[in-house]
Amino acid sequence: MVSGASGDAWVEGPDGARYWGTYGAAGLLAVSPRFEVLLQHRAQWSHFGGTWGMPGGARHEHESAVDAAVREAGEEAGVPPELLEVRFSTVLDLGYWSYTTVVADATQRFGPVVSDPESIELRWIPVDRVTDFALHPRFAEAWPALAARL
């Protein structure tokens, strides 16, 4: 993994919308052998706090999206990288900021760990129940296309 300066800062778009990550951001959608996805109930103080989404965060300078997603999932949810097999990724590119969703199969179901203050709870959710939860707005927008590819 090649990593440089931290990207932990806000980027403001031309319309005033704010996005986390100077160098963009990435998140990991882990899929269990039971066809569940690992979701994070986001801390109230976070951007769109109280919603559910995937573990993720700001990329570091020179860090690949896959490396960032795996690192963030490890930091926020105790996701063991050795159990992941990356399947595909998708990119939301706004020109001045981007978010990469990395989808990976977990070769075995593991117990996620709330390991930092960004999570209220972590839970394996059956794929057909994801929309039962109050989702982070951008994750909710992306979910139909992601679910179709699972």
Domain with residue 41: its CATH number is 3.90.79.10
Condensed to tens digits (0 to 9), the pLDDT of residues 76-114 reads 999 999 999 999 999 999 999 999 999 999 999 999 999
Using the Cα atoms of residue 123, residue 124, residue 126 and residue 131 in order, give the sign of their dihedral: positive
Q: What is the mean pLDDT of residues 115-128?
A: 92
Higher pLDDT pick, 19 / 69: 69
Residue 1 belongs to some domain of the structure: no
Residue 58 belongs to some domain of the structure: yes
Q: What is the mean pLDDT of residues 123-142?
A: 96
* pTM for the whole structure: 0.91
Residue 40 belongs to some domain of the structure: yes
Reference 60, options 93, 95, 25; nearest CA is: 25
Condensed to tens digits (0 to 9), the pLDDT of residues 41-75 reads 998 888 788 999 999 999 999 999 999 999 999 99
Q: Where in the sequence is the domain holding 86, given as residue range(s)?
A: 10-149
Residue 67 belongs to some domain of the structure: yes
Q: For the chain, how many structural domains are there in total?
A: 1
Residue 4 belongs to some domain of the structure: no
Residue 116 belongs to some domain of the structure: yes
Residue 97 belongs to some domain of the structure: yes
Residue 69 belongs to some domain of the structure: yes
